[in-house]
Amino acid sequence: MNVILIAVCVLGLIGLASAVILFVVSHKFAVHEDPRIAQVGAVLPQANCGGCGYPGCSGFAAACVKAANEGSLEGKLCPVGGQPVMEQVAGILGMTVEATAPKVAVVRCNGSCENRPRLVKFDGVQSCKVQQMIGMGETGCSYGCYGCGDCVASCKFGAIHINPVTLLPEVDEDKCTACGACAKACPRQIIEVRLKGPKNRRMVVLCNNKDKGAIANKWCKASCIGCGKCQKVCEKFEAITVTKNLAYIDAEKCKLCRKCEEACPKGAIHAINMPPRKPKTEEPAAQKTPSIQNTPTQNVEPSKAE
């Protein structure tokens, strides 16, 4: 009987002492985590893509809460969730977010097999980065798509794939979250995350070639030659700039008038998701377009090294 009593007392004392220690320690070393971080984390898509610039969704949630404490959510955007998710986040944090226009990845190269003939065959590891180290790829263009699909491998949403006919990557606009992983993966910076535009309509220069016009024209039928005609027709809006022999359309300034598309002698400017053009009644323009598009490319040399 005595033995049992001693055991109960000793264990009881140990238990009491432990409880006191635990109580003191849990108060003394308590880490205060804002409960809102978990709440914000719960509404995020949990894709952990890194498109926001933070290491995963929890990192972004913490950054949002910190920014809210400092007074503004400006510059914070989850590209995957977009506006709806950001509104939810703002609701939790008691803030407001400005409307941000949705974006989408755009492949700025139209050097399909037809437009840009393959001169040689690269038989090494099928990776754009490996090709980048070795040289200019299989065609004569030193700025165009390698077609090995590093962007496809980098996409966590299955939104990009290589078209087997053109050997160019194509973006599935419904799946694309504009996280920018493909743009980072592309060693030639061909992919740009651009504004989706009103009704998903946008004007894009589908070329990345910064060579002089003669060289760009020699190796690709669809290259921008930096002639500046598009810049001239866009004088009113000043949306187009030509730097280093390459035209660029500022999506924020572009009014989708499609004049540049018409003016481009190489057909490098594309109107995406726009209805087909109505046939023009004015004669000169109608005549101009076909003759320009059939511009013969200069002697594209057959493969020598192949």
Partner 1 sequence: MKTFKIGGVHPAENKLSADQPIREAQLPKQAIFSMFQHIGAPANAVVKKGDMVKVGTLLGEAGGFVSAPIYSSVSGKVNKVDVALDASGLRRMAVYVDVDGDEWEESIDRSSTLVKLSDRPELDSKTIIEKVKNAGIVGMGGATFPCHVKLSPPPGCKAECVIINAVECEPYLTADHRLMLEHPEEIIVGLQLIMKAVDVKKGYIGIENNKPDAIKLMTEKAKGYKGVEIVPLKVKYPQGGEKQLIDAVIGRQVPAPPAIPINVGAVVQNVGTAFAIYQAVMKNKPLIDRIITVTGKSVKQPSNLLARLGTPLQQLIDECGGLPEDTGKIIGGGPMMGKALLSLDVPMTKGSSGLLIMRQDEAKRAEAAPCIRCAKCVNACPMGLEPYLLAKVSELRDWDAAEHEGITSCIECGSCQFTCPSHRPLLDYIRLGKSTVMGIIKSRK
Question: Interface with partner 1 by CB under 8 A: which residues?
Answer: 119-120, 123-125, 127, 129-130, 133-137, 140, 142, 211-212, 215, 304-305
What residues are paired with 107 via a beta bridge?
191
Choose between 88 and 154: whose C-beta lies nearer to partner 1. 154
Q: How far is the CB of 223 from partner 1 (least distance, A)?
A: 14
Q: DSSP for 151-181, please give it.
A: HHHH-SSS-EEE-TTT--EEE-TTT-----H
Q: How far is the CB of 136 from partner 1 (least distance, A)?
A: 4
**Which residues, in sequence order, are CB contacts of 157 under 8 Å at separation 6+?**
47, 49, 80, 175, 176, 177, 179
Choose between 55 and 124: whose C-beta lies nearer to partner 1. 124
How far separated are the first and last CA of the chain, in Å rounded? 98
Q: How far is the CB of 153 from partner 1 (least distance, A)?
A: 10
| 205 and 269 Cβ atoms separated by less than 8 Å | yes
Q: How far is the CB of 237 from partner 1 (least distance, A)?
A: 33
Please report, for residues 51, 52, 61, 153, 180, the alpha-carbon distance to residue 48 in angstroms, rounded to integers and kept in the order given: 8, 9, 11, 16, 13
Choose between 66 and 244: whose C-beta lies nearer to partner 1. 244
Q: How far is the CB of 244 from partner 1 (least distance, A)?
A: 12
Choose between 180 and 197: whose C-beta lies nearer to partner 1. 180
The Cα–Cα gap between 300 and 221 comes to 10
Choose between 154 and 177: whose C-beta lies nearer to partner 1. 154
